[in-house]
Structure 1
Amino acid sequence: MNILRPDLRRLLRAAVPFAAFALVACQPQPTEAPPLAGARIGGPFTLVNQDGRTVTDRDFAGKYRIMYFGYTFCPDVCPVDAAAIGKGLAMVDASDPDLARRIVPVFVSVDPERDSPKVLKSFVAAFHPRMVGLTGTPQQVAGIAKAYGIYAGKGETQPGGGYLVNHSRTTYLMDPDGKPLALLPSDKGPQAVADEIKRWAR
């Protein structure tokens, strides 16, 4: 026997579809996939850090990595990009220190002939206290450059015997498993770097 009044039955019938809609609307929506998800970028490597210690990709396991390729004798873009990376990460340090502690900025030299660990040490220290400088033999550097899709080659010779190195201007954000997430816009300054880090790193 249905003891509900007719007006209450009509109210409940009207409320059921609304309740179902509200339930669906409150469900977590799928998150946006990182732009580089599934890309074949990165891989194992063995290099030497700014302290002269042998380092492999496994030393960064469990950390987000900012991977930038350049050289310390670069007259223009490399210092600008390294500064944007360092200052951008400093912004994350200030706004979300727990996240920032899980991010390592890495500067990989594409000029191993001149970029010794000692040279790298003074260079990376100027941009962020946690920035790691990596170098190695020409073969080792060529190997990691290839894994990350980076072009690098000697350019024009300068007066006095110096030379420029032509290379890709690319900054990668890698996840804690070493998989690519996104490109960081280091050419657009620290705020753009910080915003993109916080968009994809959790």
Structure 2
Amino acid sequence: MILLQYLNYVRAKSCYLILFSLFVLVSCDPEPQYKGTVLNNHDSYRFALKDHSNRLIDSGNHGSNVAILSFLFTECTDVCPIITNTIRKSLSNVPDSDKIPVIIVSVDPENDSLENRNQFIKKWNLDTNWSFISGPREDLIPIWNSYFINPQKYDVPIQKGGVEGINNALLEKETVIHSSPVYILNDIGVAKLVHTNPIDKEALTQDIIRMKNN
């Protein structure tokens, strides 16, 4: 009987010690260094294409210890403005943000002409550290694949205004459905972090600063 009580005591004490150890481990576990998803050994495709200002942008030699990469198109009216504004506001809280390259890769090269890309930059009042690049579709596909972007074109019906609208006459407008992650690249253009929708501006700011200071 005494032996049984002793064994129960040892068993209970062992369980307590295990639970306590787990509690300590959880309690003392430091906060993750980064807010976004950390990428290990990401196969970041290196590219060199011209941007809206005819500058050759080399993702592997961008001239900073950190760079931002995302994927948009000029006629986008939903997620692209949100992503653009999020990046812009996040950078506004980063010291020397004008030295951090922001590389936007087109997901609609057929319509993202030089003129349209320049209008986009002007519309959003984006600084010279922003580069909106495009090129032949065959040059962009390896970039899209490397960063898990799969743009798909669709014809979306839109209703006319005026008299035609009364008759419910429809037009078709081409749009592009695509994912819209924001990547943070290191000094040699390798993606180390990714933020996905919905993107928290403060979290993105913190990660940019941490990467910048590493």
Same fold by TM-score, threshold 0.5 exceeded? Answer: yes
Q: Provide TM-score, normalisation by structure 2.
A: 0.68
Which position in structure 2 is the counterpart of 1:14? none
Q: What TM-score, normalized by structure 1, do the two folds share?
A: 0.72
Where in structure 2 are the equivalents of 1:166-177 lying within 5 Å?
166-177=177-188
Q: Which amino acid aligns with 1:139?
A: E
Give matches, 1:47-126, under 5 Å.
Answer: 47-92=49-94, 96-97=95-96, 100-125=97-122, 126=124
Gaps of 5+ in 1: 1-28
Structure 2 counterpart of 1:180? 191
Residues 152, 74 of structure 1: alpha-carbon distance in 2 compared, 3 angstrom cutoff: same
Deviation at 1:58, TM superposition (A): 4.2
Does structure 1 conserve the Cα–Cα contact (< 8 Å) formed by 2:60 and 2:188? no
Contact kept in structure 1, 2:66 and 2:185, CA below 8 Å: yes
Distance 1:39 1:156, change over 3 A: farther
Does 2:172 match 1:144? no
Is residue 180–residue 197 contact of structure 2 (8 Å, CA) maintained in 1? no
Tell me if the contact between 1:69 and 1:170 (Cα under 8 Å) persists in the aligned partners. Answer: yes
State the distance in 2 between where 1:142 and 1:72 align.
Answer: 18
Amino acid at match of 2:154: G
Count of aligned pairs = 168
From the superposition, tell whether residues 138 and 38 of structure 1 become closer, same or farther in structure 2 (CA, over 3 Å): same
Percent identity over the alignment is 23
**How do residues 1-16 of structure 1 correspond to structure 2 at under 5 angstroms?**
none
Letter in 1 for 2:148: G
Q: CA separation of 1:36/1:113 partners in 2, compared to 1, >3 Å: closer, same or farther?
A: same
- Could you say if the C-alpha distance between residues 35 and 201 of structure 1 is closer, same or farther in structure 2, counting changes exceeding 3 Å? farther
Q: Tell me how far 1:101 sits from its aligned partner.
A: 4.4
What is the one-letter code of the residue matched to 1:164?
T
CA-atom RMSD in angstroms: 2.6
Q: Mind listing any 5+ residue stretches in structure 2 that lack a counterpart?
A: 1-29, 159-170
